[in-house]
Structure 1
């Protein structure tokens, strides 16, 4: 069975785009390299990943294909144009993957702007999905979580030791995640309130399983996240240098 990475980067990154910066966040450069390339290289260099499929913003389709060639991301098997939502973009990439692979293959669905997962997290996802059928990358919450319907008063305060942050990758058998998408699209074609594959599965009352993630696995959403990413990349590079010494 193949292990396939589905990288979705179809958004425009409106929270980072301004009048001076019209480039979607996945193409912003950190130390001279686009964020999406940092992400792709994690899967390119992982020994258990066989193929990569990318869903990209339609306006940047050719640009993304050029980046893949320029940075020698050789495991990319296909690039598709993203849809109206992140879930639509993921579905487009999954359908392309399905046309060329087995339904029993494992797919790791990952944000193009989440470039700081570790190799160990990728491995844990594959192992968990092979054992249990799927894997949701999670980290324990260190802060108190409040649930509020009106954004003013907490309706519920869950016990912190039982709260986790769902991240990515989120990993499934290819045929099962496509079937889940097909079910949702019949009753909720616009994916309303479906923010990731985990919520998609839970909307259908399907069981999911957790795989432990790493604390630095941030999704680049705001300008503050860019500063954090710069620090994380520099820290990782320093540790590699010190390790060789």
Structure 2
């Protein structure tokens, strides 16, 4: 067996840690300039689309794929599952459970970034915990102060007026987030429902500060095998 892990999440790194000694490689998209070191052989960069991915699987002798990309990497996941099915390769997606509101939360669920403006009054201070890849979809937030946190220093200007980047590398504790939101005067928090404890600290901070949260719902889930824990992912590999 030669296993390909599609990584980029903290859980992907944990899965790789538990599979040391296996014939496996972890692939990172290269979205972060200095990604954390992995405990398995690592390739960085895209595959060149569907045809390139198919060619890589065949040339590298990949016999199974474990997809531990971000829950919102829906196009990549759909493409991967489809190609693995066509090649007869075992495939599973690691998908951590979504967040659910707790007592004291003030969540507004939306289905896309463009809906945020309808719920945020002009003049508000808005903190985007959504990353830079979909930043242009918030361009209708005119008249608001928009702050987008990203890991790497920006290599281009903010894409619309009234916004700025804030550089920060996780993890962030609840106390870190409370202090940051207070200092910035954040009035609205916008996040994708990625799930996970590590990035959930901002939700706890928002709850403590009484900040409304606009929660972007996950894309529809396809009909493919899913595991929800790191140990379940390892068990899937061991059962191959």
TM-score normalised by structure 2 residue count? 0.31
Write 1 or 2 for the structure with the bigger share of helix. 1
Superposition TM-score, scaled by structure 1 size: 0.30
Structure with max Cα Rg: 2
